[in-house]
Amino acid sequence: MDIAVIGSNMVDLVSYIDQMPKEGETLEALSFSIGCGGKGANQAVAAAKLGAKVMMLTKVGEDLFADNTIRNLNEYGVDTEFVSKVPGTCSGVAPIFVDKQSQNRILIIPGANKHLLPVDIDAAAEKLKKCSLFVLQMEIPLPTIYYAIEFGNKHGIPVILNPAPASRELDLNYVQKCEFFVPNETELEIITGMPVETEQQIEAAAMSLIQKGIKNVIVTMGKRGALWLTEEQVHHVEAYKVNAIDTTGAGDAFIGCFAHVYVKNRDVLMSIKMASAFAALSVTGRGTQTSYPDVATYEQFLQ
Ligand code: ADP
């Protein structure tokens, strides 16, 4: 295995509506679609689409979404040996309402994702030890994230932590133990409590994390590109100029591709550049996992 993603899966239940129903009112919606998502699953799929050998450690519920989620991961080539069902619990779901102005309202029900625990890491230990990189986000319990970081450190496996969704409770003592910390601007603002309007402010906020002992901070900034800071240097990588249609899941595309390229060559700058290209392509199509390009499309874009 190249990469272990220890994280979440969700099922997006998207209703396209004219308007939100008022209290007590029943309205007919225009259409409906189901999509596989969750930050962990998205990142696993992004890396697997590029050819990485990816295993996922996640939990699904005991409902009709569970098998569909596992099948979807398998179809993209993600190893699901350690994806298990939690009896009596629902899978993670996200009912999303999108109106005609493309404004959305989203509810997240974490369901089984809340049940991914340190014991699950122990149960998968033999396989996890053989991985070259761990990829973590924050849609699972914090103690599990901390345990995974410790496990990675103990076995010499570098860890990428994507603090999404951001929480002020995140203990930076654990973040110091990660090789890469990859927030977007909003997450950086929440974690540091510093303003992130301008690039100078973003750089100052990221630098405050470096000063707290975090090794590599990579801030993704949408169409403004990405900023990579270490104690020695600051590097700005421009975003590719594309016609953006739907930017959902761009951050997950970036991280999945970054993980794949980094495992292959350990060159951080090259990995950020390659991830920027993959993420840029992803915003040119609708959806999340479905908008991630396959290897052929990606390689053509790079030429
Ligand atoms: P998130 O989805 O977490 O908010 P970002 O919006 O920062 O993440 O996007 C992640 C990366 O995707 C960016 O660093 C950039 O490389 C790429 N990206 C995002 N939006 C665009 C865009 N409109 N044009 C080109 N690249 C983009």
Q: What stretch of H or E contains 228?
A: strand 226-229
Ligand 1 center to 226 CA (angstroms) = 8
Task: Annotate 88-121 with b (16+ C-beta within 10 A) or e (fewer).
Answer: ebbbbbbebbbeeeeeeeeebbbbbbbbbebebb
Q: Is the CB of 283 under 6 A from ligand 1?
A: yes
Which of 190, 199, 218, 254 for mutating ligand 1's site (highest number of atoms within 8 Å of CB)? 254
Contact 202, 224 (CB under 8 A): no
- Which atom in ligand 1 lies closest to the alpha carbon of residue 275? 16
Q: What are residue 234's phi and psi, to 5 degrees?
A: -125, 130
* CA angle centred on 174, ends 173 and 176, rounded to 5°: 70
- Is residue 2 among the annotated active site residues? no
* 242 close to ligand 1 (CB < 6 Angstrom): yes
pLDDT digits (tens, 9 = 90+) for 218-258: 999 999 999 999 999 999 999 999 999 889 899 999 999 99
Q: pLDDT digits over 31-89, tens only?
A: 999 999 999 999 999 999 999 999 999 999 999 999 999 999 999 999 999 999 999 99
Average pLDDT over residues 153-176: 97
Between residues 248 and 193, which one has the greater pLDDT?
Answer: 193
ipTM of the complex: 0.99
What does pTM read for this prediction? 0.96
Residue 277 Cα to ligand 1 midpoint, Å, equals 10
